[in-house]
Every structure is written in structure tokens, then in C-alpha cells.
Amino acid sequence: MINRKTTMRTLNQISLIAPCGMNCGICMAYLREKNHCPGCRGTDTNKPNACIRCIIVNCRTFQKGKAKYCFECDNLPCDRLRNLDKRYRNKYNMSMLENLEYIRDHGIRKFIKNEDTRWTCSKCGGKINVHRGNCVECGKVFYNIPKKLS
């Protein structure tokens, strides 16, 4: 028998994985309570302008429906994805390119299961904010974000 609640939760989690491999469910804009962002695949309501203008989400390959993820593109990795990956590796200890490789090799459901484990707070079970390095529920710090040089 199909568990509809589990199926709907999984479908929602799948919709939170951006074409670039970013898990929008751990993004600061998605996790905030006020002006909650629906994720890269959601409507533009409450999305940060940078997300609305994102070169990857607005790529012709995705706009034409030819691909769901960047690993399906002949131009992988494009300059935009390479730059985004470098920034996230350096600042947030995660890689879009590694995420995409994992999704391609193991499937989206296994990726989501691993992401749930990786980004769940060991103290309270809340979500870890990738951009802040801490749990949104209890505040436990998992890693420090490098400060910008003035």
C-alpha cells in the first residue's frame, strides 16, 4: 500500500533540489519564517532577486524542458556552475558538482535521504542552514562561515 504522506513529502523534497544540485531545503531564504522562499523550482514570490535572475535556472536548456539537472546538459560544467561550485566549496563546505554527480549516479531519492542525514542537527533534529552553518531551531554551530575582508 502506498503511503501518501511519505510520497508527498518525497515529491516536495525532490522539488527542492535545484537544477544546479543545490538543496533549497537548507538555504537561508527557504528556512526563514518571514518572506519564505519556495525554492528555485517554485514561483518567484518571495525569492531573492539573485535567485530570480539566476543564469542556471533561466538557462535555455531548462526553459525548453530538455533537462531537469545540469548533469543532463552537454555544456557541463558551464562557467556559471563552476563559479557557483567554487564559492560554495570555499564558503559553505558543499559542492554542487558533487551533488549533481551523486544524483546522476545514485538517483534523486537516495540523494535526498543522504541530504536529510547530512543537514539534520544532531542536537535537536532541526535543519542546518547551509549559509549560516548552524541549526535554525537550537542554534548549534556546525561550521563557521569565513568573514569577508573589509
pLDDT 10s digits, 68-78:
899 998 888 89
- Which pLDDT belongs to residue 61? 81
User: Residue 6's pLDDT is what?
Assistant: 42
* Per-residue exposure over 49-70, b if at least 16 CB sit within 10 Å of its own CB, e if not: eebeebebbebebbeeeeeebb
CA distance 81 to 70: 9
Q: With a cut of 80, say whether residue 91 has pLDDT above it.
A: yes
**Rounded Cα–Cα distance for residues 39 and 29 (Å):** 8
Contacts of 141 (CB under 8 A, 6+ apart): 133, 134
**pLDDT > 90? residue 60:** no
- The answer, yes or no, to whether residue 95 has pLDDT greater than 50, is yes
pLDDT value for 55: 84
Q: Which amino acid is at 58?
A: N
pTM of the shown model: 0.83
Task: For residue range 98-125, list pLDDT tens digits in order.
Answer: 999 999 999 999 999 999 999 999 999 9
- In the chain, domain spans: 4-120
Residue closest to 92 by CA, chosen among 18, 28, 33, 12: 28
pLDDT at 28: 92
Cα 62 to Cα 21, 29, 47, 66, distances in angstroms: 13, 22, 18, 6
**pLDDT reported for residue 58:** 83
Res. 3: pLDDT tops 50: no
